[in-house]
Amino acid sequence: MGYVSLKVQYIDGTKIESAAGRYTFVWKGSVEKNKAKLEKKIESVLSDIESQIKEDQSELGRDETPLPIDSTALRDRLSALNEKLREAGKSTLKQLKKLREEHLPRLEKYEKQLAVLGERNSYSKTDVDATFMRLKDDHMQNGQLKAAYNTQISTEEQFITHYSIHQSAGDTTTLKDHLEGFEENYHSRSEAVVADAGYGSEENYEMLESKGIEGYVKYNYFHKEQKLAQKNNPFLLQNLYYNKEEDFYVCPMGQKMAFAGKGIRKSTNGYSSRVSYYQAKRCEGCPLRGQCHKAQGNRLIEVNHRLNELKAKARQRLTSETGLYHRSKRPIEVEAVFGQMKSNNKFNRFTMRGLEKVDIEFALMCIGHNLRKWSKKLLKTTSSGPDDQPKYNNPLTYGLHWVNYPYQPMAA
């Protein structure tokens, strides 16, 4: 109908609370800690039993250093011990019973919980697909951890062109899957993607560049670095002079900071970034040291040259005429859509549980939003027609007369 071109995506995300109970949480850190304690206790009890029956550890297939035990290994060892403990004393049988009836079920429970968690740090017992995230409950961004889903949408002319549901709280790791879902649905790629600083990372910049998409995506400190206080601060890393040919930096005192090695930084989703280290040689006695750094030794800086190149390209796009247009339009695009859904339509919490059902529920909300948007555009079009033409106040009625009505909406 010409309302959208699919050539540009304004992308943003919001967290919507799950229908799960708010206090039925499972935390990965607690599970791993309790599992480690239980494994240590099981090893201790098994060692006591084996020493009581004076069996050689090698017969049971044990090494000198005890390995982390799982429920399957524990079952096998209990079966082996049962054969050898038919004539054992009461204390030994009691310990064996405790292993079988108490420790083994607990170990299986921890293993199941870790399997459900996967790469997540938490989940809800009443909706295992929901992850605990910090939600903004009011305009002051006060909130608390609640079971929720991270919903991502793409908009154009305030129509939702694509959506995706994620179990991770951060927006950075969602962009790749979101764009791939868009390509799968439409069998084409957008020419431009516009997003805020929550998506600005080396991984996302590289991904957009490899796909041939113009990314108008901010990065952290994009606005802050343009302020005079940041530009005129000679001690900040981005303001230090860099000699690219000889690969060294110069500190504010004029001292050469030579290359000191390379390293690798890994993100939460496993993406590896290469960084370089540069270190000054004589910081003691420097009159500017208190302003320059607070480390005990010589100043050491870490630089990601590839990320700096990508940021420079992003900065150039964002400050161009087209970039300024997209930046001014983004708040009235995707953020306005979320405002309609969450504030005007009161969609602040899912009613269904489970990722599959939540996906369907959010899809219906997106369809409802698009139909409301479409109906308003139809009403606006009909009200501006000639006086001698019929004006349909009901958009559904107008839809029935679509073929006979000569004034169709103009392309956006």
Last residue of a domain, one of 304, 321, 336: 304
Q: Which residues contact 73 (CB under 8 A, 6 or more apart)?
A: none
Q: What residue type is assigned to position 197 of the chain?
A: A
- The verdict on residue 154 lying in a domain is no
Beta bridge partners of 156: 159
Full residue range of the structural domain in which residue 246 is found: 238-304
User: Exposed/middle/buried for 335, CB within 10 Å: 0-12, 13-18, 19+?
Assistant: middle
- The verdict on residue 86 lying in a domain is yes
SS3 403: coil
CB 151 within 8 A of CB 12: no
Q: Could you read off the pLDDT tens digit of each residue along the chain, which spans 412 residues?
A: 889 999 999 999 999 999 998 888 899 999 999 999 988 888 888 777 777 665 444 444 444 445 567 778 777 777 776 655 555 556 777 777 888 888 888 888 998 999 999 888 999 999 999 999 988 766 665 678 899 999 999 999 999 999 999 999 889 999 999 999 999 999 999 999 999 999 999 999 999 999 999 999 999 888 888 888 888 888 999 899 999 999 999 999 888 999 999 999 988 778 899 999 999 988 888 888 888 888 888 999 999 999 999 999 999 999 999 999 999 999 899 999 999 999 899 999 999 999 999 999 999 999 999 999 999 988 887 766 555 444 444 444 444 444 444 444 445 4
Last residue of a domain, one of 283, 304, 325: 304
- pLDDT for residue 135: 86
- pLDDT for residue 104: 86
> Which parts of 56-137 fold into alpha helices (H)?
71-84, 90-98, 104-117
Q: What is the C-alpha to C-alpha distance for residues 347 and 340, in angstroms, rounded to an integer?
A: 9
- The verdict on residue 310 lying in a domain is no
- The verdict on residue 395 lying in a domain is no
Instruction: Residue 45: name the closest of 105, 103, 121, 131 by CA.
Output: 103
Q: What is the DSSP letter of 298?
A: S
Q: What length is written for the chain?
A: 412
- pLDDT for residue 53: 61
**Three state DSSP letters for 370-385:** HHHHHHHHHHHHHHCC
- The verdict on residue 64 lying in a domain is yes
- pLDDT for residue 75: 74
- The verdict on residue 80 lying in a domain is yes
Last residue of a domain, one of 86, 121, 156: 121
Q: What is the DSSP letter of 53?
A: T
Q: What residue type is assigned to position 395 of the chain?
A: P
- pLDDT for residue 131: 93
Q: What residue type is assigned to position 345 of the chain?
A: N
The total domain count for the chain is: 2
For the chain, counts of helices (H) and of strands (E): 12, 13
pTM of the model: 0.79
- The verdict on residue 159 lying in a domain is no
- The verdict on residue 221 lying in a domain is no
- pLDDT for residue 89: 59
User: What are phi and psi for residue 378, nearest 5 degrees?
Assistant: -65, -45
Triad 291, 292, 297: Cα angle to 5°: 120
CB 133 within 8 A of CB 33: no
Beta bridge partners of 272: 266
- pLDDT for residue 384: 60
Half-sphere exposure of 234 (CA within 13 A, CB side): 9
